[in-house]
Structure 1
Amino acid sequence: MTEDPLADASDGSELDGSWFDESEWMAFDDAEYSDEPDGAGAPQPVLAVVGRPNVGKSTLVNRLLGRREAVVQDTPGVTRDRVAYDALWSGRRFTVVDTGGWEPDAKGMQASITAQAERAMSAADVVLLVVDVQVGATEAEEAVAKVLRRSKRPVLLAANKVDDQRTLAEAAALWSLGLGEPQPVSATHGRGSGDLLDKVLEAFPTTPREEFAATGGPRRVALLGKPNVGKSSLLNRLVGEQRAVVDEAAGTTVDPVDSLVELDGEVWRFVDTAGLRKRVKTAQGTEYYASLRTKAAIEAAEVAIVLVDASEPLSEQDLRVISMVIEAGRALVIAYNKWDLVDDERRQKLNKEIDRQLVRARWAERVNISAETGRAVAKLAPSLRAALDSWDQRVSTGKINSWISDVVAAHPPPVRGGKQPKIMFATQAHPRPPTLVLFTTGFLEAGYRRFLERKFRETFGFVGSPVRISVRVRERKDPKSSRR
């Protein structure tokens, strides 16, 4: 009779992989799970899309990109920050920057939105002014055109909403703006968008105005949290300028806003996202698309900073955002903002809330900051590096099996169905996030898997990174089949 290979591991204290085909666990390795940062290629020219509110800028941006990226709604003023997207046309890559509505003599939040558009124009290689031909050139367009004529960069004029022959004739009236030939286009139907893109490529200079060194690409950081928790204020503090629109009204940010930030001698790519109010399934209109883009920003990031208002009790929404990061498998830093408003009594309550409600994220890096005053903001960089080091970490199979042997000998898996499962082999399938695969003779209870994760962290660290444990049950082989 052929000897049963499972019989050797009598109590789980000795792991035996003799029954195991090594190629099975090797298949989990690098190729399928590689997630290297995007390499920076040649510098890309920048196209800034500007115009007054509700002329169809974001719709036209989506048409130029060939995909739905910018948030679009009938309500004027949906886009508030300047938001950059990668575009490709005729084999050439460039960046499209969508902006909020540009209005002269604006006040309040609209003044901040206008300032963002002006910054986009000053940094762009080509400016595209979008005008609604069904309304014609207004005083706002004339004011913008006056500014653009004085600028030292190419300007294109897009006559939008040219849906038929009648409106095509109305586009000719825009010659009065003094910006050259109006390019008739229908952002909704796509009419003339290809010709417009050809004109954009012709207008681009040989060398972009701004260049960034290609060093493998900055690490990608998603800035998350519920509305009005201070995400945009923190981004502006890090950048050192009014990069994102900040207002007392909750929900000012709608689109994710990308910014290159130099922090502690290293360049990072920060993405400020919309505050999440509701689940994606129950959100409507702008909130729905903002939720989708926030989720996409998490997927595209390597590490997330979740801002929590330390002066208020932890909310269900705070926990939901943290859960989204964990489920996406991204490294995590929790930043307790508005720490300057926290007194001793609130600190004691917060510690109890953390112990009780953040059980799933006890491993996360934590920093107490104030975006308003700049308190301890410099501590974010070391926390980000520590979290990413754990996220990138890989432990050798030999060390893992030595560790699991000791753990199982001291604390065997609980009996299930009258039989005690045995862990025969273990390996880290891949980093980003670190994933531990256990090959066993039976199912392991969720409580025991959590115990193994805790022991794994105690031995190997992984502070700031989620750790996933996958169990693969190997059915016992039939001895008769092995003789065939």
Structure 2
Amino acid sequence: MPSVAIIGRANVGKSTLFNRLSEKRLAMVTDIPGTTRDLKYANIHWQGKEFELIDTGGFLANQKTPLRALTKREQKKLDKLTVNDIDKQVEKYARNALLKSEVVIFVVDGREGLNPQDKEIADYLRKGKNKQIILTVNKCDNQEIRQSTAEFYKLGINGLILISAVNGSGTGDLLDMVVENIKEERFELAAHNDQLIKVSILGKPNVGKSSLLNQLVGEPRAIVSATAQTTREPNDTLIEYENNKIILVDTAGIRRKAKVARQSLEALGVSMSISALKKSNIALLVLDINEPISQQDLQLGKLIAEAGVAAIIVANKYELIKEENRDQAKEFTQAVYRNFPHLSWAPVIFVSALTGFNTQKILKLIMEVNGNNQIKIPDGALSKFLKTIIAHQPPPKKTIGFGNKTKISRPFITHFKQIGINPPLFECAIGSKEKLTEEYRKYILNKLREKFGFKGVPIKLVVRYKKQI
């Protein structure tokens, strides 16, 4: 699939444009320079064709590396960046996005006018071979601004277009230009795939989520640092595994609300992370095997349970466990199920995002759990199942009525069937004056798991009265 990179200095509206073109709020938008750290990816469908759009971090005004083609020595230096040198990693990722892209959307600020750094970026972009550059003057919100944009022709780039990412004016024409600048044979026909598996990666700050994402993808897409809150917004990455498409979402680390300022970038990132979780099919809850389970971990487990999504518990940093302490894994598993009783159905897998140990097995487990999420049990099999469990343990008797008109009755289940998947949802019906105890509901659900599996999947039971069916 052809790739298109959005490039420009900080705070010219790249993320706003990315959101506009993708028709989703995938990238965080603020007026704080450097908000975008990781690369953001979206598949764009336009005129029956499909391409990959990449939102990059802004080139930083205080960077030491000039905006030009890198020498071999400079490239080696960038490749050996320390994990704490985040600004340089932003630059490195932006350069990598440029290397793989066939078309570059070079964004400048029409409201502010031509900036010296725009000239530096333009000089650097022209060095790229076989790169089609579209000079995109953003923030042209009124006629006065549009009439004052002639100075951008000084950049020496053909193909200038005036747009407003905020209100969308000119963005359709921009997409037309993008499609026209990509060779026809590079396109794949646009085909919306309803079988996408969306997986959110959740965990408290600095637990290894971005490192895990990079292991699963096989290339660095999320910036890895020992500094908490390196990832500040959900980061969608599309991968293929055994002919299945999986969207991995690296979310911002979620801390206690008291520690997060309401208007901060972190608060906005957390809000987007929770929203991403609710739209996911599966959640990966990443825990640190070498630390006690914390209140933050418990809060994340609660959010997953409330979202009603399938889950896999990923015990990370297995490389820190010494050979003689391997029993620690068993003890940790027991602690997980003791602390997360509402996720007792979620499998635990031990991995090392640092070394890659067991990380590819996560993808296999994702496919297994996704399959369980789609299980549809025939009505006949459920009828036979219901008779068996009732014969083994019938519903407890209950006293119904008032005063002299009371009587002891056992609830009679007249109807039992599956009414939904993803996650599996079951429905049973009882008499209008009867009641099924919570304990018996749990009994039915437990027996369903024993009989049909549902590993990694929450299953629900809705009890209705016969008149409601």
What does residue 473 of structure 1 align with? 465
| Secondary structure of 2:249's aligned partner | strand
Residue of 111, 117, 124 corresponding to 2:88: 111
Q: CA deviation at 1:61?
A: 2.4
Structure 1 residues 208, 319: CA separation in 2 closer, same or farther (over 3 Å shift)?
Answer: farther
CA distance in 2: counterparts of 1:171 and 1:438, whole angstroms:
67
Letter in structure 2 aligned against 1:110: D
Structure 1 residues 93, 377: CA separation in 2 closer, same or farther (over 3 Å shift)?
Answer: closer
Structure 1 residues 95, 406: CA separation in 2 closer, same or farther (over 3 Å shift)?
Answer: same
Q: CA deviation at 1:92?
A: 5.5
1:458 aligns with 2:437: no
1:51 aligns with 2:8: yes
Letter in structure 1 aligned against 2:36: T
Q: After TM superposition, list the pairs within 5 Å mapping 1:68-467 onto structure 2.
A: 68-88=25-45, 94-103=51-60, 105=64, 108-151=85-128, 152-208=130-186, 219-261=197-239, 268-277=246-255, 283-342=262-321, 344=325, 347=329, 350-418=332-400, 419-441=409-431, 442-467=434-459
Q: CA deviation at 1:51?
A: 0.9
What does residue 34 of structure 1 align with? none
> Larger relative contact order (C-alpha < 8 A, sep ≥ 6)?
1
| Secondary structure of 1:128's aligned partner | strand
Structure 1 residues 162, 261: CA separation in 2 closer, same or farther (over 3 Å shift)?
Answer: closer
Superposed CA deviations along residues 85-142 of structure 1, whole A, max 9, x for unmatched, are 3445566654432211124536820111122222222223321111123444444333
CA distance in 1: counterparts of 2:35 and 2:137, whole angstroms:
21
| Secondary structure of 1:113's aligned partner | helix
CA distance in 2: counterparts of 1:278 and 1:243, whole angstroms:
27
Q: CA deviation at 1:300?
A: 4.2
**Higher mean displacement: 155-164 or 329-338:** 155-164
CA distance in 2: counterparts of 1:255 and 1:174, whole angstroms:
32
- Residues 172 and 182 in structure 1, CA contact (< 8 A), matched pair in contact too: no
- Residues 49 and 188 in structure 2, CA contact (< 8 A), matched pair in contact too: no
Report the TM-score, using the length of structure 2 for normalisation. 0.81
Report the TM-score, using the length of structure 1 for normalisation. 0.79
Letter in structure 1 aligned against 2:371: D
Letter in structure 2 aligned against 1:175: Y
CA distance in 1: counterparts of 2:102 and 2:37, whole angstroms:
21
Structure 1 residues 430, 133: CA separation in 2 closer, same or farther (over 3 Å shift)?
Answer: closer
What does residue 72 of structure 2 align with? none
**Higher mean displacement: 219-228 or 49-58:** 219-228
Superposed CA deviations along residues 341-371 of structure 1, whole A, max 9, x for unmatched, are 3464865763453232111111111101110
CA distance in 2: counterparts of 1:48 and 1:67, whole angstroms:
17
| Secondary structure of 1:436's aligned partner | strand
**Higher mean displacement: 150-159 or 378-387:** 378-387
Q: CA deviation at 1:263?
A: 5.5
Structure 1 residues 113, 416: CA separation in 2 closer, same or farther (over 3 Å shift)?
Answer: farther
**Higher mean displacement: 213-222 or 101-110:** 213-222
Query: Could you tell me the percent identity over the aligned residues?
Result: 34
CA distance in 2: counterparts of 1:438 and 1:284, whole angstroms:
46
**Higher mean displacement: 283-292 or 67-76:** 283-292
| Secondary structure of 2:140's aligned partner | coil
CA distance in 1: counterparts of 2:225 and 2:468, whole angstroms:
63
| Secondary structure of 2:224's aligned partner | coil
| Secondary structure of 2:157's aligned partner | coil
The gaps in structure 1 that reach 5 residues or longer are 1-42, 478-484
- Residues 417 and 428 in structure 2, CA contact (< 8 A), matched pair in contact too: yes
What does residue 11 of structure 1 align with? none
Q: CA deviation at 1:225?
A: 1.9
The gaps in structure 2 that reach 5 residues or longer are 66-80, 401-408
Letter in structure 2 aligned against 1:120: A
Letter in structure 2 aligned against 1:323: K
CA distance in 2: counterparts of 1:139 and 1:78, whole angstroms:
21
CA distance in 2: counterparts of 1:360 and 1:445, whole angstroms:
19
- How many pairs are equivalent? 434
Q: After TM superposition, list the pairs within 5 Å mapping 1:23-62 onto structure 2.
A: 45-62=2-19
- Residues 50 and 190 in structure 2, CA contact (< 8 A), matched pair in contact too: no
Superposed CA deviations along residues 162-200 of structure 1, whole A, max 9, x for unmatched, are 344553344222222222253233333444444434433
- Residues 264 and 378 in structure 1, CA contact (< 8 A), matched pair in contact too: no
| Secondary structure of 2:227's aligned partner | coil
CA distance in 2: counterparts of 1:402 and 1:284, whole angstroms:
56
CA distance in 1: counterparts of 2:321 and 2:263, whole angstroms:
35
Q: CA deviation at 1:80?
A: 1.2
| Secondary structure of 1:385's aligned partner | helix
Letter in structure 1 aligned against 2:446: R
Q: CA deviation at 1:67?
A: 5.0
CA distance in 2: counterparts of 1:217 and 1:390, whole angstroms:
14
Letter in structure 1 aligned against 2:236: D
Letter in structure 1 aligned against 2:29: V
- Residues 50 and 188 in structure 2, CA contact (< 8 A), matched pair in contact too: no
Superposed CA deviations along residues 290-322 of structure 1, whole A, max 9, x for unmatched, are 344334433443322221112222223323333
- Residues 264 and 381 in structure 1, CA contact (< 8 A), matched pair in contact too: no
CA distance in 2: counterparts of 1:432 and 1:69, whole angstroms:
23
CA distance in 2: counterparts of 1:332 and 1:437, whole angstroms:
23
- Residues 366 and 383 in structure 1, CA contact (< 8 A), matched pair in contact too: no
What does residue 70 of structure 2 align with? none
- Residues 99 and 116 in structure 1, CA contact (< 8 A), matched pair in contact too: yes
